[in-house]
Structure 1
Amino acid sequence: MTNTTNQKTAHLISHTHWDREWYMPYEHHHVLLVELMDKLLDTLDRDPEYRYFHLDGQTIIREDYLQVRPDQQERLDRYIREGRIQFGPWYVLQDEFLTSSEANLRNLLIGHRDAKPFGIISKTGYFPDSFGNMGQAPQILEQADIQNAIFGRGVKPTGFNNAVVDAEAYESPYSEMIWRSPDGSEVLGILFANWYCNGMEVPVDPEKARVYWDKNLQEAEKFASTSHLLFMNGCDHQPIQTDLPEALRTASELYPEVKFVHSNFDDYIAAVSQQVPDHLATIEGELRSQHTDGWGTLVNTASARVYLKQLNQQGQTLLEKVAEPLAAMAHVAGVKEYPHHLLTHAWKKLMQNHPHDSICGCSVDEVHREMVTRFAKSQQLAEKLVSQTSQAIAECIDVQNIEAWAEDAVLFTVFNTAGWMRSGIIEKELIVDKSFFPEGPNPQALARKLEEVVLPTYQVIDAEGNIYVAEILDLGVHFGYELPKDRFRQPYMARKVKVIFQAKNVPALGYQTYGLVPVGEKEERQAAGVEFKVEIEANMMENEYLRVRVEQNGAITLLDKRSGTEYHGLNVYENTGDIGNEYVYRQPEGEQALSTKQLKAELRLVEHSPYHAVMESVLRWNIPAGADELFEQEKRYMVPFTERKAQRVQDTVPLKITTTYTLEAGSDMVKVKTEFNNQAKDHRLRALFPSGLVTDYHYADSIFEVAKRPNIPAKEWVNPSNAQHQQAFVYVTDGSTGLMVANKGLNEYEILQENAGSTIAVTLLRASSELGDWGVFDTPEAQCLGPQAVEYAIIPFAGDAAKSGACASAYTYPIPWTTVQLGELAHTYEKEALPVHGMKGGQLKLPLSKQWLDWQAENSTLAFSTLKIAEETGDVIARWFNLSADPADLHVQTGFECVSTYESDVLERVKGSLENNHRTVAGYKIVTHGYELL
């Protein structure tokens, strides 16, 4: 629609962009937040002309305030209900690329739930300072009935200290645009073209106001496509402007042709929507500032303090891929109620680490120390829930009268909470004998008695009598305890063994039960002639699919036997200096990268069994100890990182890198673990994977999509580095073969063009010493000194990455197995079922193997995302997303009884019925199913 009026309307939206923690620790910011909120409530009480305040799009601000001022809850909540304080839609303002797909949705879902009691929520897709924006945001927002996105970065250069930069490479001529997801979903995008502080500190004095508004009106009109001009009255941690109504009266008198209003996003967006022209630019997919000089994208926060990213990956995976699915399984089985309150608490604790200045690792050291504690708390909650729910299921498995198992067999269940059937090595400690403290004169006597027991020879056998090659290790006697629900704790001493074997074809979203069975010499069926599925010869390992040779420099040559493609020089390490900061990597001018390519490694075979082999490489390397004295001066004087001249010193420190390569039977990947003790400062360590493949594009796992990105940046890009974000993996392919590198919490990569081929470079460590941005803040702990360990996997494939199963392997790779020993010594178990979703109780028996959700995955471009229970309906929620532009068939069979199946959305609402278990999923679509239980 075209603008038909000449009158301008200046919408002033009062806000404060509230980073919970950043250049000060959380509690320092917390004190200021309490002061701000006190003043806000007093102003709203006193001045009816102070109409609105935008609470920065995050509901956690209310929680933080009420921690200290619970006495103010009634006042605060009244203004939220009245709409004078705009609340939501997120729980926190997250970094979109460093938090998982499901974490982004939990953030939106919990924000909506926090706001529900007030009967009002801001439907503003608010991304004020995200360091780039995910390509599927429009689809996610549209599913949540949010038709707009307000953002500050991604399509226009933003300079040092968030300075607004004029450039021709602005991807839209207006601050308004259409933003489209890969699936075709569209929202109205509004860019803070003059940042989110262009209406701060409005003068009351007419003379100062004239100067202020002459400049600011002109700058807003420069980008606006309508007569409605946006002015953000606030900035980072900005105290509220209590005299804003008076300042607006001054402005109205000075500029009678302009209507000045104290506005809110709902009114502003509604007004803009009525006037936007038909020729708005359409921006496709990710907003990553690729048409800029490349210095202000802040992508290198993906490698700042890698340990935080690793802890986050562990926490997210444990919650969304283990705790929630297991709790859902226990719920539908009728053995344990779904713990909504505890899971929400664990998610909130985790998401308190997800704001951009937190998870990005670009805050002062005190902030990140507290984050480690939060990660631990969330993980402890998740671990306890995993233990309780898996045990509740296991105790109801019917193991009576199984011919393959002797009466004294020790039984255990292996849960696969991934969305795909999988095989893998299981390590489980099992109790083979135990005595409670009341059984003996003292714990010492019990321990001695248990130590004297001669353990039989054991085998691992499943219910069908299949024998698994296993390693059984005697762990001796250990203390333990039980916490019964009806009496005091019960301590004991126990004799333990560790069982190591390869489980095969454990059903997706299900379990398989095994027995540790004592056998006599005549009955023992694990003969010396066991077939080895992983063969070794010198420095080579080989299974059905792959041949891996560890070279003298510690790198590997990898043959994909399926396609005949051989990759050389994989996992060479590269080291460079870094004279940037937590936000930005900057290599010293003229420096040549160091490499392990010419080093000689110490090689040895660490383990070999029929089901796996492990080889080790040890590299002894000397690298520069840090940057020179000039670097300290440049930091102290705030010399911009692009102008720094510092170099690394000549003195070196040792860097011993120990790498283990693991190849499992039947596996399509080489697992890599790299350990080192970092004693150097101001540097970056990467692993390089030359593919030899000639291609202009590569693919990176992102939020509900595998994003296609160009290998060479736009012509405007001048930053020598083109590092980018990833979630689970990155790969290159020429259409017939491909090379993928999956990871656990390594979120930064770069595609290098070397020897006419594409090389994947994955950052393992980046050591820096200052926060950067607008001031001088030392961060010595960002140097990440001390022991480090990182894990990743190399996955070659042929054909399409999704259809070949490579993507499924990469998604499954970081998900841990869950194993539970059945009962005290695992005999028979008959538990009374809980009255869950209509069950009346009684003796519940579960089968030895079960799958709760079976979906067609063969030759599919679909990826599984979540299995959980909806809080409001109590229904089962399952979600998938299509990795391809082509439609994909989805056929689902449930392993539980349900009344109906319906289409849901990211807010877990009932949207429309699904008549059968088959549907076609459109290209790049995120689909959520709801299953109403009996």
Structure 2
Amino acid sequence: MKTYIKEGRIHVGPWYILQDAFLTSSESNVRNLLYGIKDSNDWGGVTKIGYFPDTFGNIGQAPQLLRQAGIHHAVFGRGVKPTGFNNMIQEASSYESPYSEMCWRSPDGSTVIGILFANWYCNGNEIPLDDESAKIYWQSQLKSLEKYASSSQMLVMNGCDHQPVQYNLPEAIQVAKKLYPNIDFKHSNFNDYCKELSSAIPNDVKIIDGELRSQHTDGWGTLVNTASSRIYLKQLNQQNQVLLEKVAEPLASFAWLQGDAYDHDLFEYGWKTLMQNHPHDSICGCSIDDVHREMVTRFEKTRQVAKGMINKSLTFLSGEIDTSMFNKWGKSTIPFVVFNTTGHNRTGVITINLDVVKQYLSEGINKQKLKNFSIQDREVLDNHGNILDCQIEDLGIEFDFDLPKDEFRRPYMARRLRLTFEAENIPALGYNSFALVLAEGSANDCVWDSLICNDREMENHYLHVKINPNGSLTVTNKINGQQYNDLCIYEDTGDIGNEYMYKQPSGEKTITTRNIQAKIFVVKDTPFQAEYEIVHEWELPISASTYLHQEQKELVWFTERKSQRVSETITHKITTRVRLEKNSKGVYITTSFNNQAKDHRMRVLFPTDILSDVHYTDSVFEVVKRFNKPAKEWKNPDHSQHQQAFVNISNEKSGLTVSNLGLNEYEILRDGRNTIAITLLRAVGELGDWGYFPTPDAQCLGEHIVSYSIFPHEGEQSRLASYQASYQSQVPWTVNQLGLQTGELPPTYAFIEWESTKVSFTALKVSHTSNDIIFRGFNMAETEAWLSTRMPIGSVQVYRSNILEEELETLSIPTSSSKLVIPVNQNEIVTVGFKKAETIG
């Protein structure tokens, strides 16, 4: 293989796998190129083309990513006309480009030559050898190619993911040359083809901007509803991406700055295991059940790697933090640390379990002594000695174990407490330390404030939340007085489509919880958070009729199906937790339910009542602006779209941002209220491609927990702040118990300082090629931004980089105490490298 790759007979890369870009994070798309190009070069050479043959639409920032990786061409099969569903060529009357070649431009201005597989990416399969058949074949092929080609260089793709290799291709090409001596048939490759095309392409190719999402079609062939197929996979993917890129890598980078080793190989294994779940028919949830069961195993492997790396870094860093300032509160003091691995200062409610006393099994266990150990009259202090409001829960005696590096495992029993409190202003990419101490007076004497107004209302300085009898929310932004009504009503419809596309039964009436009386309980009431539980008992049809099964077996196309849902119902209990924190501008919601209904879609609704023709949604390295109404060609009643972390509707005075955790499908309803609808579950029973493939696991029966948040805001600056809050809400807090000790690190510290209202943080890692610290972000705005940063201790040089972590431009900075202000162009992906003294030379 290596010989053939070096000789140019086999071409590999540039991706590690062929991913679905819309359903994988910004950093996952970068790592896919980073590891793909690294491995390709290790094997002898890389194909320098952005290859997207069958992705279900293409992200708007793909040209910028490719250009940063030194790639100037992209090929794709979907996203613009004339290719429609089932790969049929459509007329080009309203096609965005008159040619299959175009100039594809990212929002920052980066461009590549875009090449649409107008006749699909396997238009040259099974080329005949006999003259008569070959003549008929090539007459049809050449006519189709010439219809869209902008130059004399025309692309014929021999091979497909469902196609055996054609071993007699050289002979078939010779037959073609004999039949058409005026045409030069070349058995070529993408590198050579793109070189030839670049010199032949005309100057009048059109510029196509941003996302390619098949919006100028009838809407039935976008395959966008794969964003809601098997939502449990999307949730697992989101959790694992965040653990790797927003927790494990930053913590390992902190530790590396303090002298710990950075395990590039283990991170690579974790990323590659995760990315093996990212091909479009995998992460899109549109394969047979066996494929997706294996994905769950891979996600668990990735999680184990990430958690192992997190624990390794925490162990190292915890030994470096000086907690001696807590000595004056006595030997029973238990210090602990709260890390913020996001790119902005953070305030929020955290929970940590602390072992107040341990007994190792090897030394003998006195359970009665553990039970009798007093935990009363304790309080939490910050590192300045300030007493914090805190809820302390006794967890009793629990078993656990240490895994020392230099000896056998050490099992122990411990008396364990759970602390819950609000940690304020934890520095970005840093930490604060705290301690549990014996109270000098009675801890019960403090004044117990509350965010609870009454049995259905709560508020803090920024928001007022009222829970209505039907369980919906009325949220008022106290800063500008804007009120949002009927939030968090649930909607359910039948779905007689498949894993690829949603299809509501014709004439079906949508079911909602609008007229259902909910049960409402206060479940948390502390000075730093309030939480209500809302319970709906909802009658839903148990499934579609058996006629749907018949239509599926007879291969009735999903748009032509006549099936309806049955009249028999099942009780669908929904439990909703709504939480408000003392210093937060968001409302945090968790919904849990046991799905026992089939063939349906469940969504949660957020009417905004904001007048706007557009909305904003988080995508890959982009907050993209989309129109609320579809193009005139759109016929599909549903207009669902992809999202990453959030969707927003706003005007110059106010707006609403709804964030999510692994819920990648939304729709802006054309209901006169600009309602944001977030899909929580889609349950279907077949794959739905070129035959009948039942997928009972895709009905997603069983327990589900989904999370999302509401962030009302005011004007432009507040809107950007709501985006940053949405990104932070994706990232779990990292906490760890410490000992009373001296250390090189102070009680509070930021390892890398950066500041920007417009630039959103995406990565902090150590480069596997240079061993330099790399951090990355992107400008969320369509205007220039500024990123202010300070070199971490031990760094002696700063430079601009790219997504391949190559050094591009040295940035002058006099000392480590000085701040460097870096200009960032509109929508630019910016990567900065820091060199340590020992890595230079």
Contact kept in structure 1, 2:326 and 2:740, CA below 8 Å: no
Structure 1, unpaired ranges of 5+? 1-75, 831-844
Deviations 1:387-411 (A, max 9, x none): 1101210111112244663222011
Contact kept in structure 2, 1:405 and 1:461, CA below 8 Å: no
Residue aligned with 2:37, SS: helix
Q: What residue is the counterpart of 1:367 in the other structure?
A: 291
Matches of 1:909 and 1:236 in 2, distance apart?
A: 34
Alignment of 1:354 onto 2:283:
no
Q: What residue is the counterpart of 1:641 in the other structure?
A: 558
Q: What residue is the counterpart of 2:321 in the other structure?
A: 397
Deviations 1:432-472 (A, max 9, x none): 111112222xxxx4333322323342111112111111111
Please give the residue correspondences for 1:125-144 in structure 2 after superposition, counting only pairs within 5 Å: 125-144=50-69
Q: What residue is the counterpart of 1:556 in the other structure?
A: 473
| Residues 511, 618 of structure 1: alpha-carbon distance in 2 compared, 3 angstrom cutoff | same
Q: TM-score, normalised by structure 1?
A: 0.88
Q: What residue is the counterpart of 1:37 in the other structure?
A: none
Q: TM-score, normalised by structure 2?
A: 0.97
Contact kept in structure 2, 1:404 and 1:463, CA below 8 Å: no
Matches of 1:210 and 1:635 in 2, distance apart?
A: 39
Alignment of 1:865 onto 2:762:
yes
Contact kept in structure 2, 1:86 and 1:121, CA below 8 Å: yes
Matches of 1:721 and 1:217 in 2, distance apart?
A: 37
Equivalent of residue 751 in structure 2, options 832, 852, 856? 852
Equivalent of residue 757 in structure 1, options 668, 673, 687? 673
The structural deviation recorded for 1:889 is: 1.2
Counterpart residue identity of residue 623, structure 1: L
Alignment of 1:657 onto 2:577:
no
Residue aligned with 2:197, SS: helix
Residue aligned with 1:208, SS: helix
Matches of 1:243 and 1:890 in 2, distance apart?
A: 58
| Residues 849, 405 of structure 1: alpha-carbon distance in 2 compared, 3 angstrom cutoff | farther
Counterpart residue identity of residue 434, structure 2: Y
Deviation larger for 111-120 or 589-598: 111-120
The structural deviation recorded for 1:160 is: 4.1
Matches of 1:159 and 1:222 in 2, distance apart?
A: 16
| Residues 186, 401 of structure 1: alpha-carbon distance in 2 compared, 3 angstrom cutoff | closer
Q: What residue is the counterpart of 1:184 in the other structure?
A: 109
Counterpart residue identity of residue 582, structure 1: E
Alignment of 1:927 onto 2:826:
no
| Residues 261, 808 of structure 1: alpha-carbon distance in 2 compared, 3 angstrom cutoff | same
The structural deviation recorded for 1:167 is: 4.4
Q: What residue is the counterpart of 1:173 in the other structure?
A: 98
Matches of 2:362 and 2:668 in 1, distance apart?
A: 64
Residue aligned with 2:445, SS: coil
Deviations 1:569-602 (A, max 9, x none): 0010111000100000001111111111011101
Structure 2, unpaired ranges of 5+? 814-819
The structural deviation recorded for 1:908 is: 0.5
Residue aligned with 2:219, SS: coil
Alignment of 1:903 onto 2:816:
no
| Residues 242, 696 of structure 1: alpha-carbon distance in 2 compared, 3 angstrom cutoff | same
Deviation larger for 197-206 or 405-414: 405-414
Counterpart residue identity of residue 206, structure 2: A
Please give the residue correspondences for 1:310-325 in structure 2 after superposition, counting only pairs within 5 Å: 310-325=235-250
Q: What residue is the counterpart of 1:61 in the other structure?
A: none
Equivalent of residue 706 in structure 1, options 598, 603, 623? 623
Percent of residue pairs identical: 50
| Residues 404, 96 of structure 1: alpha-carbon distance in 2 compared, 3 angstrom cutoff | farther
Counterpart residue identity of residue 554, structure 1: G
Counterpart residue identity of residue 543, structure 1: N
Equivalent of residue 302 in structure 2, options 354, 369, 378? 378
Q: What residue is the counterpart of 2:136 in the other structure?
A: 211
The structural deviation recorded for 1:787 is: 1.1
Alignment of 1:887 onto 2:800:
no
| Residues 621, 157 of structure 1: alpha-carbon distance in 2 compared, 3 angstrom cutoff | farther
The structural deviation recorded for 1:166 is: 3.1
The structural deviation recorded for 1:919 is: 1.7
Matches of 1:158 and 1:236 in 2, distance apart?
A: 18
Alignment of 1:115 onto 2:35:
no
Deviations 1:789-809 (A, max 9, x none): 100001100011666510110
Q: What residue is the counterpart of 2:410 in the other structure?
A: 490
Q: What residue is the counterpart of 2:422 in the other structure?
A: 502
Counterpart residue identity of residue 786, structure 2: D
Alignment of 1:459 onto 2:362:
no
Matches of 2:116 and 2:82 in 1, distance apart?
A: 12
Q: What residue is the counterpart of 1:302 in the other structure?
A: 227
Please give the residue correspondences for 1:650-799 in structure 2 after superposition, counting only pairs within 5 Å: 650-754=567-671, 756-799=672-715
Matches of 1:705 and 1:802 in 2, distance apart?
A: 18
Contact kept in structure 1, 2:177 and 2:185, CA below 8 Å: yes
Alignment of 1:275 onto 2:200:
yes
Equivalent of residue 157 in structure 2, options 232, 241, 249? 232
Residue aligned with 1:317, SS: helix
Deviation larger for 698-707 or 164-173: 164-173
Matches of 1:515 and 1:591 in 2, distance apart?
A: 58
The structural deviation recorded for 1:118 is: 3.2
Deviations 1:168-212 (A, max 9, x none): 222111110000000000000000000011111111111111111
Residue aligned with 1:182, SS: coil
Contact kept in structure 1, 2:594 and 2:703, CA below 8 Å: yes
Deviation larger for 402-411 or 608-617: 402-411
Deviations 1:252-273 (A, max 9, x none): 0011111111000111111111
Contact kept in structure 2, 1:301 and 1:584, CA below 8 Å: yes
Equivalent of residue 149 in structure 1, options 48, 51, 74? 74
Equivalent of residue 540 in structure 1, options 457, 465, 487? 457
Matches of 1:449 and 1:526 in 2, distance apart?
A: 25
Deviation larger for 491-500 or 552-561: 491-500
Q: What residue is the counterpart of 2:433 in the other structure?
A: 513
Deviations 1:646-680 (A, max 9, x none): 11111111111111100000101100011111111
Q: What residue is the counterpart of 1:34 in the other structure?
A: none
Matches of 1:729 and 1:722 in 2, distance apart?
A: 17
Residue aligned with 1:718, SS: coil
| Residues 509, 375 of structure 1: alpha-carbon distance in 2 compared, 3 angstrom cutoff | same
Counterpart residue identity of residue 392, structure 2: I
| Residues 404, 190 of structure 1: alpha-carbon distance in 2 compared, 3 angstrom cutoff | farther
The structural deviation recorded for 1:537 is: 1.7
Deviation larger for 81-90 or 93-102: 81-90
Contact kept in structure 2, 1:879 and 1:929, CA below 8 Å: yes
Q: Name segments (4+ residues, structure 1) moved above 6 Å.
A: none
The structural deviation recorded for 1:237 is: 3.2
Deviation larger for 91-100 or 451-460: 451-460
Counterpart residue identity of residue 930, structure 1: G
